[in-house]
């Protein structure tokens, strides 16, 4: 198994950036096992073949749709850098499964008209990463401490078809799509550190269209639209809710419009050729009127079927590469760079949009204890690390508790995460215990206490810049699961 793949599959639900709206701007059937249809199949498609193709197309299109709806619901304008300068607590609802490890600096780039220039200041050794994701949610470059160091850096980001002269002093980054999501993260250690160090550092970042950068002018707010406008009742809804609310026609015609400026990879040619048979492709029009009444009825259920399959896969820890009998496994694919593993990419878009590749960060999410029972604050838990068996991080590691809705939970000491940057107390033999309890576990355990709600909860471990030997062989470190403490 490719390094990082095991972790990526098991820990898919460690969602990083599924934004909720408002920043500025039925019964389903069981999954149906189907087969891919050869593009060379002669004659009219049967209803079974049509449904198979449309399900396959829905999974393929999902990341692109999520990227653009997140752009529309979470950013004030295109080519505008937004700094999230909050140290998240239980009132923070803008991001599902927020972390207390980094502050985000985020922008959606539209490169169709001209390139965008990005200036990154010297972070003086502090961990940061400024990944650029294409519209299909693949990280195509990740400037940061791991790859480019922490000194000052300047880049020009161009679209797939741009031709022009690169100004002196700028390093060229070419995006495979015109829509790009920049999701910068800077290490933050405490509310005081955020206010005194990180926030001033964020203000030194620059992101401007090339013409504005050359002229040293400010950027006037603008936003590109693909397809239909957002529904009138979109306020307060996040991208997941909006995607689920799209009719099958609106979903695919939105996708068809996005494809024009955000071309698929050359490796996607086979699926592009197949789904063209049902009116899905750049500039095409998908219409239910092209199908008989019985097929139309089945097509209208596909969205619900897909999300039922997603949720079942996550709940039962099934192989995310196989959905509806369609296997899109790709040995080169991984979290944050999916290649032709369309099922996996779609599932991550739903539950972990914006995820980093394993070389940058690895996530472990726990919804159950070591006995397989759901975590619940009416019990007491311990996470135990043997001596020299701490999470294998080159940068740092942390554990964060979430309620069953995947948001942070109020607690008496306002501690939402714990990790190696805290003043932890180690046992005499060098081992470490973290205590996950609703009530204070006592003075001797207070430094290592991570409060949990008196209800169902879950925990996410984050390892920033995993050690190289661990990436090569993940059996070198066995992640300890929460274990119930006997009274």
Radius of gyration for the alpha carbons in the chain, expressed in angstroms and rounded:
23
Query: Residue 372 burial by CB count (10 A; 0-12/13-18/19+): exposed, middle or buried?
Result: exposed
Q: Which fold has domain 82-215?
A: Immunoglobulin-like (2.60.40)
Judge whether 100 and 119 are in contact, CB under 8 Å: no
Strands of 99-138 (E only): list them. 102-110, 116-120, 128-129, 132-134
Using CA atoms of 216, 217, 221, 227 in order, give the dihedral in degrees to the nearest 10. Answer: -60
pLDDT of residue 34: 36
Q: Among 340, 370, 368, 334, which Cα is nearest to 352's? A: 334
DSSP string, 406-417: SS----TT---E
- Written as tens digits, the pLDDT of the chain (487 aa) is 333 333 333 334 333 333 332 333 322 222 333 334 433 332 389 999 999 999 999 999 999 999 999 998 888 899 999 998 888 899 987 667 888 899 999 999 999 999 999 999 999 999 999 999 999 999 999 999 999 999 999 999 999 999 999 999 999 999 999 999 999 999 999 989 999 999 999 999 999 999 999 999 998 888 888 876 666 566 677 888 899 999 999 999 999 999 999 999 999 999 999 999 999 999 999 999 999 999 999 999 999 999 999 988 877 767 777 777 777 888 889 999 999 999 999 999 998 888 899 999 998 989 999 999 999 999 999 999 999 999 999 999 999 999 988 899 999 999 999 999 999 999 999 999 999 999 999 999 999 999 999 999 999 999 999 999 999 998 999 899 999 998 7
Q: Among 398, 386, 396, 402, which Cα is nearest to 451's? A: 402
Cα–Cα distance, 18 to 239 (Å, whole number):
7
What is the domain partition of the chain in residue ranges?
A: 5-72+230-352, 82-215, 361-484
- CATH code reported for the domain at 361-484: 2.60.120.600
pLDDT of residue 221: 86
Residue 29's CB is within 10 A of a number of other CB atoms, namely 10
pLDDT of residue 14: 36
Cα–Cα distance, 365 to 404 (Å, whole number):
12
pLDDT of residue 377: 97
Length of the chain: 487
Helix H or strand E encompassing 306: helix 302-315
């Amino acid at each position: 198994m490719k390094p990082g793949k095991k972790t990526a599959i098991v820990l898919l639900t460690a969602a990083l950036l599924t934004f909720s709206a408002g920043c500025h701007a039925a019964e389903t059937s069981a999954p149906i096992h189907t087969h891919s249809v050869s593009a060379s199949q002669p004659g009219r498609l049967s209803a079974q073949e049509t449904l198979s193709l449309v399900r396959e197309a829905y999974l393929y299109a999902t990341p692109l749709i999520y990227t653009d709806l997140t752009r529309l619901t979470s950013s004030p304008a295109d080519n505008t850098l937004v700094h999230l300068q909050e140290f998240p607590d239980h009132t923070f609802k803008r991001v599902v499964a927020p972390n207390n490890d980094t502050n985000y600096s985020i922008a959606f780039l539209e490169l169709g008209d001209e390139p965008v220039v990005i200036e990154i200041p010297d972070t003086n050794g502090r961990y940061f990463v400024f990944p650029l994701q294409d519209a299909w949610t693949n990280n195509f470059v990740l400037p940061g401490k791991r790859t480019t160091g922490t000194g000052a850096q300047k880049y020009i980001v161009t679209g797939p078809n741009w031709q022009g002269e690169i100004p002196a002093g700028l390093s060229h980054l070419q995006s495979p799509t015109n829509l790009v999501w920049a999701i910068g993260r800077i290490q933050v250690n405490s509310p005081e550190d955020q206010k005194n160090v990180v926030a001033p550092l964020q203000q030194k970042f620059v992101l401007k269209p090339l013409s504005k950068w050359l002229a040293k002018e400010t950027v006037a707010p603008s936003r590109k639209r693909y397809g239909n406008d957002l529904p009138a009742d979109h306020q307060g809804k996040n991208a997941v809710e909006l995607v689920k609310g799209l009719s099958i026609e609106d979903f695919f015609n939105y996708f068809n419009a996005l494809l024009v400026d955000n071309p698929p990879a050359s490796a996607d040619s086979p699926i592009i050729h197949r789904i063209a048979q049902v009116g899905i492709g750049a500039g095409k029009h998908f219409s239910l009127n092209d199908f008989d009444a019985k097929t139309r009825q089945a097509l209208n259920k596909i969205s619900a079927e897909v999300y039922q399959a997603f949720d079942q896969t996550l709940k039962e820890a099934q192989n995310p590469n196989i959905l509806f009998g369609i296997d899109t496994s790709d040995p080169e694919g991984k979290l944050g760079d999916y290649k032709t593993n369309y099922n996996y990419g779609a599932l991550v878009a739903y539950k972990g949009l914006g995820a980093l590749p394993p070389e940058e960060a690895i996530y472990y999410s726990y919804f159950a204890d070591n006995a397989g029972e759901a975590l619940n604050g009416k019990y007491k838990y311990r996470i135990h690390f043997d001596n020299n068996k701490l999470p294998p991080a080159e940068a740092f590691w942390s554990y964060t508790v979430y309620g069953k809705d995947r948001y942070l939970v109020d607690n008496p000491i306002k501690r939402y995460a714990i990790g190696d940057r805290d003043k932890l107390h180690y046992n005499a033999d060098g081992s470490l215990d973290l205590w996950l309890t609703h009530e204070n576990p006592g003075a001797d355990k207070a430094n290592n206490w991570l409060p949990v709600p008196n209800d169902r909860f879950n925990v996410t471990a984050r390892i920033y810049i995993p050690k190289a030997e661990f990436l090569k062989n993940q059996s070198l470190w066995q992640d300890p699961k929460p274990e119930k403490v006997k009274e």
